[in-house]
Amino acid sequence: MKRKILIVDDEERVVRSMVGVLEDEGFQVVTARSGEEALQIYKQEQPEVTLLDIWMPGMDGIEVLKHLKSLSDKPVIMISGHATISTAMAAVKLGAFDFIEKPLSLDTLLTTIHRALESGKEFSRVEPIEEIPRHKEVSHPSLSSDERIPHSQTRKEKFIPTPFSQRTIRQSVVLYGTGLHSGMKTGLLLQPLPPNHGILFGNLSSEEVVPAHLDFVQTTDYATSLKKGRAVAKTIEHLMAVFHAYRITNVMVKMIEEIPIMDGSALEFCKIIEEAGIEEQGDEVEEVVIDRKLEVIHQNKSLTIEPSEIFSVQYFLDYPPPIGKQTFHFTMENEEVFKKEIAPARTFGFLKDIEMLERMGLGSGGRLHNFILVDDEKIVNTELRFKDEFVRHKILDILGDFYLLNRPIRGKVVARYTGHTENIAMMKKINEEITLRER
């Protein structure tokens, strides 16, 4: 028996095109030109998947979606050519299975329909018709001669990489917020991806994506930002730290240029991952094992990583009062420890730097509730969550930047006064080590 698809759209040309493709693929297709007609046909035909346009005369797609979800749990895929991210997120929040844009990519359309048909209530996925190619690592400039230490021919047991199951989220989820540096109202739409796709950042207004890989780091000024073609993803480090802690290896992140700052910490990102649920995908990814000491030194800043049986970060910070000297040693045991010890630590900045940031066009989204503001004598706007919240936040940033190979790392990191620039420099050295081993 042919599987039945309902198309709800008032654009005749779009409907004809979709009907032709879907019938060629062996589906039975029924159509409706308005929301009212769609509800009648839905009750009569009981389609397995509904393709629903957001903008229609009379009852719009969001209102139709509410009615459909009250009738059945069958998946509804929203389509639109000019929806804002807030509209798309509202649709997903109301129970839409996914959101795709016009002009429709036929491969994307068919892939999404197949995922929806296989989803049931658990949102399981099948392999896509055409996968997005996984980015291949490339080599970077060579290490200096004094750093090039011959590898041992026989590795100790602890230097054998541990394979981990690849992971994605079980269902699409949304989150609203404001960009810290742009000040723009934005949000996140997180969507599951099949194995070997990696973490991808995209925009609802474009099909272009940028992989979460250090090769695409555009800037490390006050935040880590990625760029590939027209695809831009700014201030990614807090979300990447959560992906690191929860070992998410395959996920699509859609937003408008900048990840929302939320309350300045990573707690809301932890909550949204737990709300979505985590799916073990079977395919494996190997951790990167550090088997010799690597070092990055920039003036008084230093960052080292050396062999260890588990991934850990020790950070030394020394700022003028009221911050002072702070040290914290974090071991990545599991996501619960991360959520308790590191995720709550918020972004901070100094009153004397605000004017400079404004001249640079940065910090426009900083608010009294999402930013620890420090002057020469005191914390201006909030009570600290930890007495050493500042150093914990520095570790949060390291955890995010250290996931830009899309693989967990095993080694002990020791950092003094460092930031995103040093983190990315170290990641390039680690990536070169991987390239040398493969050769």
pTM of the prediction?
A: 0.70
For the chain, how big is the Rg over CA atoms in Å?
24
Q: What is the pLDDT of residue 135?
A: 37
Q: Does domain 166-286 have CATH number 3.30.230.20?
A: yes
In a 13 Å sphere around the CA of 411, the CA atoms on its Cβ side amount to 25
Query: Which CATH number does 4-122 carry?
Result: 3.40.50.2300
Residue whose token pair is 């062999």: 307
Nearest to 405 by CA among 163, 131, 137, 132: 137
Q: Which two tokens mark 434?
A: 């991987």
Q: What is the mean pLDDT of each run of 10 residues along the chain (439 residues)?
A: 91 90 94 94 95 84 91 90 66 81 80 80 35 35 32 47 90 71 64 92 80 95 91 94 97 87 92 93 92 94 96 95 94 96 90 54 46 81 91 97 95 96 96 87
Q: What is the pLDDT of residue 376?
A: 77
Q: Which is catalytic among the residues 181, 244, 393, 420?
A: 420
Query: Which CATH number does 287-438 carry?
Result: 3.30.1700.10
Dihedral angle sign, alpha carbons of residues 361, 190, 370, 372:
negative
Q: What is the pLDDT of residue 120?
A: 53
Nearest to 191 by CA among 262, 292, 92: 92
Q: What is the pLDDT of residue 129?
A: 29
> Please, what's the largest Cα pairwise distance for the chain?
75
Q: Return the amino acid letter for 434.
A: I
Q: What is the pLDDT of residue 186?
A: 65
User: Where in the chain are the domains?
Assistant: 4-122, 166-286, 287-438
Q: What is the pLDDT of residue 401?
A: 98
- CA 387 vs CA 80, 133, 313, 391: distances in Å: 48, 45, 18, 10
Q: Return the amino acid letter for 134.
A: R
Q: Which two tokens mark 247?
A: 């070992």
The burial class, CB within 10 Å (0-12 / 13-18 / 19+), for 336 is: exposed
Task: Determine contact, residues 342/244, Cβ cutoff 8 Å.
Answer: no
Task: Determine contact, residues 332/413, Cβ cutoff 8 Å.
Answer: no
**Distance, CA of 253 to CA of 249 (rounded, Å):** 12
Q: What is the pLDDT of residue 124?
A: 35
Whether 420 is a known active-site residue: answer yes
Inter-residue long-range contacts of 204-210, CB under 8 Å, 24+ positions, other chains counted: 204/83, 204/84, 204/85, 204/88, 204/99, 204/101, 204/254, 204/256, 205/101, 206/230, 206/231, 207/101, 207/105, 207/108, 209/132, 209/252
